[in-house]
Chain A
């Protein structure tokens, strides 16, 4: 469990906070997502959590241990993937993983299997400098998984990936969660947050604007409509029902021949707009 407690960060020391009053908990076996537009402060929070930035105010705890007092050895239990893919350009993908694998005293995954799981097996012996940005990003992700981390940090794991690759990365993250890792991820991709996160925090202007499970957020802010497409004579028609008055829906379904039924939930994107007044992708 990672506990973030009233964390603030001021880069320049001029009283302008990049993030302020951030508090949340990441549980083992769960995925916690930071959803917010670029510049919201997502990476700042991740960097404070991993110790790359100092904890200026507040506290970050791994179980009982403050991040300020972590020993080098503790990093055997952490995996970090960066927003800017940072790999050894002069080494091949495989050598990159071998290099980092040598750093851990904890058991590590087989580099080739990991490369396979991120779709880089074919490119394993190519210099990482010749990789596309998306490939380097997947290599960075694979590197974060090397030591089967208990705490996994993923900064924008799917940005710049094509939908098929993004979907496979999503499966990979799910597997990490199922293995019992506490996963912290940042994204401005609403679908990723929706499909993957047990808890989502909306980050905007360095502050958490809302935080809950995607379903709970939708329930709280969504319109809660159900639309039914049904056959009437030769034509296909659609009817909408308010979920607060379900009797009408039940009666309707009993008397008609429905083709499809959709719950007309608001998307996280719409809710983000509702809560913060800003578009997610702006």
Chain B
């Protein structure tokens, strides 16, 4: 598209004078330092007592209980995991809402300690064991590098509204597509750069770069487009800022599902960052890379976000005869 590059360059120059841009850039450095030096490699787990009626497991490790009721009561009392051996030889685990991963680990331990066959279902098959600090990298990339367009695209747009340059654009042959594309591409390029920096500095170079770049580019595009659509509802920075921060924090809720994979209700999975964080996880740490399902979901988000942005920005930018 004619002139797109020139528009991107001028928007970039405006960005360089924007304080928010430098705040985000500075926090990029801080986050890289935090990942490498401040976060522990392992998160210490809480200590749990073990209660069981299983002869093999009792002894120095566990408190002995006689009945299922007794085990249940002990677990409900707190800080306790119960293992009950049933008449048929199978084992039931009672636990105070531990994560699937913890239960998994527990089951493996039991399987090793007893001749009984314990059925275990693995949640993330094929995954390497990732240190806690590195495991946070997808989260930091998603909420630092990728949301840059959501925040700064909005900030650029609102300064155009406040300066009145938006009105000048409305009587120019800008067109809504060029308006949203020039800003989206700019932020996607910056996001790719920042995401690569974060990944290189925290997990090294051992990941498929092309998939990573594409994910960063289009992931950031989704946020920029949604941000422009959202911002077009506002007239000035002050009324926008807190709403923007609120929407961003909702967008961060999928972190819960990432930390606690057993908790992933539908309403969390429909937030775009959900797919993006897990896609980063599988690109950075997974053996198989990004899945077809995730690719399709992200493509859907891109198209949807573009359509939404086009409609929302178009209504304020191009609808003839609106102030």
Q: Which residues of A contact B (CB under 8 A)?
A: 47-48, 50-55, 67-68, 70, 72-76, 78, 80, 82, 84, 86-91, 95, 98-105, 140, 143
Quick check: B321 and A72 within 8 Å, CB to CB?
A: no
Quick check: B7 and A90 within 8 Å, CB to CB? no
Chain A residues near B167: list those with CB within 8 A: 52, 82, 86
A82 touches B164 (CB 8 A): yes
Contacts of A82 in B (CB 8 A): 164, 167-168
Known contacts A73-B173, A99-B7; A54 and B165 CB within 8 A of each other: no
Closest to A69 in B: B320
B170 within 8 A of A: yes
Least CB separation from B166: chain A residue: A86
Asked whether, in the complex, the Cβ of B163 is within 8 Å of the Cβ of A143, the reply is no
Q: How far is the CA of A48 from the CA of B17 in the complex (A)?
A: 35
Chain A residues with CB under 8 Å of B18's CB are: 90
A100-B178 Cα distance, complex, nearest whole Å: 12
- B144-160 contact mask (Cβ, 8 Å, vs A): 1 or 0: 00000000000000011
Measured between beta carbons, the chain A residues less than 8 angstroms from B6 are 98-99, 101-102
B interface residues, how many (CB within 8 angstroms): 29
**Pair count A-B, CB < 8 A:** 91
User: For A48, what are the chain B residues with a Cβ–Cβ distance below 8 Å?
Assistant: 321
Give the distance in Å from the alpha carbon of A75 to the alpha carbon of B7 in the complex. Answer: 17
B17 and chain A: residue at smallest CB distance = A90
Known: A70-B320, A91-B10. Is A75-B171 also a contact (CB below 8 A)? yes
Q: Is the CB of B10 within 8 A of A95?
A: yes
**Residues from chain B with Cβ under 8 Å of A73 in the complex:** 173
Q: Which residues of A contact B323 (CB under 8 A)?
A: 47, 52-53
Set of chain A residues within 8 Å of B321, measured between Cβ atoms: 48, 51-55, 68
* Interface flag for B128 (CB, 8 Å): no
Name 29 interchain pairs, CB-CB below 8 A, sorted by A: A51-B171, A51-B321, A52-B167, A52-B170, A52-B322, A52-B323, A53-B323, A54-B320, A72-B318, A73-B173, A75-B174, A76-B173, A80-B168, A88-B14, A88-B160, A88-B163, A90-B18, A91-B13, A99-B6, A100-B172, A102-B2, A102-B10, A103-B169, A103-B178, A104-B173, A105-B2, A105-B173, A140-B168, A143-B168
Q: Which 9 A-B pairs have the closest CB atoms?
A: A54-B321, A86-B164, A102-B3, A102-B6, A75-B173, A51-B320, A99-B10, A72-B175, A90-B17
Question: In the complex, what residues of B have CB within 8 A of residue A103's CB?
Answer: 3, 7, 169, 172-174, 178
Partner of A86, one of B10, B13, B165, B175: B165
B168 and chain A: residue at smallest CB distance: A86
| Closest Cβ neighbor of B3 among chain A residues | A102
- Which residues from A are CB-within-8-Å of B164? 82, 84, 86
Q: Tell me the bound Cα distance from A53 to B322 in angstroms.
A: 5
Q: Which residue of B lies closest to A75 (CB)?
A: B173
Say which residue of B3, B13, B172, B322 sits within 8 Å of A75 (CB atoms): B172
B178 to chain A: which residues have CB within 8 Å?
A: 103
Given contacts A91-B13, A143-B168, 4 further A-B contacts (CB under 8 A): A51-B321, A88-B10, A100-B168, A103-B172
